[in-house]
Amino acid sequence: MQNLEVNNQLAPNLLISKSSEMQEINNVIKQVAITDIAVLITGESGVGKELVAHAIHSNSSRSKKPIITVNCGAIPEGIIESELFGHEKGSFTGAIELRKGYFELAENGTIFLDEIGELPLSTQVKFLRILENGEFMRVGSSLPKKVNVRVIAATNKNLQTLVSNKLFRADLFYRLRTVNIHIPPLRERVEDIIELANKFSADFSIRNKITFTGFADGALEILKEYYWPGNVRELKNVIESLLVINHANLISQSDIENFLKKYESQNSLETERGLQLYPIKNELEERVLIYRALVDLKNDIYEIKNILKDKNLVSQNGVENLTALPAHNCSLDEMERKLITETLENFHGNRRLASKKLKISERTLYRKIKEYGLL
């Protein structure tokens, strides 16, 4: 289940904090952790929203129970309700057995709904209900059930703007923002940069047995001046790359200057390319979603086919046609091939960006390129 993650080990108890802003956040984490109140975490991508959610969970009395992370933006709209709330057997084609949703799986624990701004409006009503009284219904059932789950939501979007554009329900927004932890971007709390750089370099060198004696005078100053559009996640990547590339005991000011210069020019090239994509962005995004839903459907069909085959039901029930579905070159494969070609074209052949857009790994993309002879 790619949208789901059950993890209790990930979180240290609190976040690294040198700046007063982060220290205050650590205080709020401790205060809210002991309650069951819903928390909204906001901030740019990479500032540490997920880490805060884990810290709240691990400082709470629910810490022995699971924290379930659901990325609302990664689940196709058509299946999100059955993913969140579960479904009854036979509630729709393909619902071959009862399935518990993420809320039920998180019973007595915490659910972390990431990218909450992506939740479809129709699902938002149901989410509000569960927030207010813990009640929900599985898809295909009219029997309300209750769960005891702590809700933490996060977004890098401005929910107020989404509310103004009628993309997010005002009542849900007001309910969620009662406790709002806003994490400022890294560039606005430079004191944390050195603390984090030291922590990431120490962890990485120990983990990879790299000899590293530290940063030379002035080196860290360069890190403090950088804009960090990708925030702490980017700082971590840069530090790890520096350690790998330099093979040096000591990282100097010019090591960092040279690295960031190259790195920045690479990134601006990508942004330039990316700009040409904006007019078709939504259409492409829509196609990716449709494609993913179709692939899920295809897998479901194969699964059903196999079950029917196992139970020798195929011929009895007159569904022989299912087995006649061609495994290859059916229109779905063609569609996949087309979508991959189109996405690669849009990204000028850049596989990393294309795979990101298609939400598949670069390796899978490479395999498919070979499979479809797109080389």
Where do contacts with ligand ADP occur on this chain (CB under 6 A)? 15-16, 43, 45-51, 196, 232-233, 236
* Helical segments of the chain, H only: 20-33, 49-58, 80-85, 102-105, 121-133, 159-164, 170-176, 191-208, 219-225, 231-246, 253-275, 281-310, 313-316, 320-323, 331-346, 351-358, 362-371
Find the part of the chain contacting Mg ion (CB under 5 A) among 21-29, 42-50, 313-321, 343-351.
42-50
* Closest distance to ligand ADP from the beta carbon of 68 (Å): 15
* Surface-to-core class of residue 150, CB atoms within 10 Å of its CB (0-12 exposed, 13-18 middle, 19+ buried): buried
In angstroms, what CA-CA distances link 336 with 263, 305, 340, 348, 357?
33, 21, 6, 18, 14
Residue 47 interacting entry, from ligand ADP, Mg ion, none, C-beta within 5 to 8 Å by type: ligand ADP
The two tokens of residue 202 are: 């120490």
The answer to whether residue 115 forms part of the interface with Mg ion (CB under 5 A) is no
- From the list 17, 44, 50, 152, which residue makes contact with Mg ion (rule: CB under 5 A)? 50
Half-sphere exposure of 117 (CA within 13 A, CB side): 16
Nearer Cβ to Mg ion (50/336): 50
**Radius of gyration (C-alpha) of the chain in whole angstroms:** 24
Q: Answer whether 131's CB lies under 8 Å from 38's CB.
A: yes
Give the residue nearest to ligand ADP (CB). 48
Strand partners, 251: 215
- The residue among 50 and 118 lying less far from ligand ADP, judged by its C-beta, is 50
Out of ligand ADP, Mg ion, none, which partner does residue 15 contact, by CB within 5 to 8 A per kind? Answer: ligand ADP
Render the burial of 272-299: b for 16+ CB within 10 Å, e for the rest: eeeeeeeeeeeebeebbbebbebeebee
Report if residue 118 touches Mg ion, rule: CB under 5 A. Answer: no
| Closest distance to Mg ion from the beta carbon of 50 (Å) | 4
Number of shown-chain residues binding Mg ion (CB under 5 A): 1
Return the number of the residue (141 or 156) whose C-beta is nearest ligand ADP: 156
What is the nearest approach in angstroms of ligand ADP to the Cβ of residue 220? 16
Nearer to ligand ADP, 19 or 346 (CB): 19
Nearer to ligand ADP, 154 or 340 (CB): 154
Segment lying near Mg ion (by CB under 5 A), choices 50-58, 63-71, 212-220, 301-309: 50-58
Q: Which is nearer to Mg ion, 154 or 344 (CB)?
A: 154
Tokens of 242: 């520096």
The residue among 45 and 361 lying less far from ligand ADP, judged by its C-beta, is 45
44 binds Mg ion (CB under 5 A): no
Contact 94, 297 (CB under 8 A): yes
Residues that bind Mg ion (CB under 5 A): 50
